[in-house]
Amino acid sequence: GENVEQHPSTLSVQEGDSAVIKCTYSDSASNYFPWYKQELGKRPQLIIDIRSNVGEKKDQRIAVTLNKTAKHFSLHITETQPEDSAVYFCASQGGSEKLVFGKGTKLTVNP
Amino acid sequence: DTAVSQTPKYLVTQMGNDKSIKCEQNLGHDTMYWYKQDSKKFLKIMFSYNNKELIINETVPNRFSPKSPDKAHLNLHINSLELGDSAVYFCASSPGGAHYGYTFGSGTRLTVV
């Protein structure tokens, strides 16, 4: 079945540093890759997404890259701030329309 | 105006009881979902409805039964609750079709004692 692997499971960085989270998907038919941020006790919220016809997308301090050949996609956060601390989930969507989520990365940004 | 609202936010109940969680969305979306988030934060799909019709039913015990009276509502009824059902249950909605992210509700934390 569809599977999404996400690494690392925890990531600790100093404020101002960059953070990178990587995901690998198994379904070749996957064509949509969103990223969600979940703060403690809150709902997951969509922060950025990328479609299969695009290799990179940026939105201020966050960017996502996609390598369809290798079935990899990554989230890059630059100039991290304490409020970036949260659990981040990658996900992929194929023909079934359901989103399959990675297991999450707990990001801690230390002041 | 809350886009996707769930009630209740917290639910504490004894093993063997039956309980329901309600979800409503005012986004005009066609598709609604139930996800379960366990203690390790893993988000796993349970059900999906498109315009009141069940389209995804993952490997979920028969004790869980979704109901969608209209496309704006998707409720989840759970019979004979077990300790392992303790989790946060998220409702979500999307416009349907490919390439659309979900909007999640605020979640219902279910604790079975």
Query: B98 touching A, CB under 8 A?
Result: yes
Instruction: Give CA separation, B33 vs A34, B64, B71, in Å.
Output: 16, 13, 11
Q: Is the pLDDT of residue B84 over 70?
A: yes
Interface probe for B, chosen from A2, A10, A98, A106 (most Cβ of B below 10 Å), is A98
Instruction: Write out pLDDT tens, residues B20-61.
Output: 999 999 999 999 999 999 998 899 999 999 888 888 888 789
* Number of C-beta neighbours around residue A83 at 10 A: 8
Separation of CA B94 from chain center: 14
Contact A93 B98 (CB under 8 A): yes
pLDDT in single tens digits along all 111 residues of chain A? 689 999 999 999 999 999 999 999 998 889 999 999 999 999 999 999 999 888 999 999 999 999 999 999 999 999 999 999 999 999 999 877 788 999 999 999 999
Instruction: Kindly list the residues from chain B whose CB atom is less than 8 angstroms away from the CB atom of residue A45.
Output: 104
Shortest CA gap A110–chain B (Å)? 22
Q: What are phi and psi of A84, to 5 degrees?
A: -80, -10
Quick one: pLDDT at residue B64? Answer: 95
Residue-level pLDDT at B59 = 79
pLDDT of residue A1: 65
Neighbours of A79 (CB within 10 A): 11
Contact A32, A93 (CB under 8 A): yes
Minimum CA–CA partner of A101 in chain B? B43
Q: Give the tens place of pLDDT for each residue, A36-56.
A: 999 999 999 999 999 988 899
A77 vs chain B: nearest CA distance in angstroms? 20
- In chain B, residues with a C-beta closer than 8 Å to the C-beta of A4 are none
Q: What are phi and psi of B75, to 5 degrees?
A: -105, 155
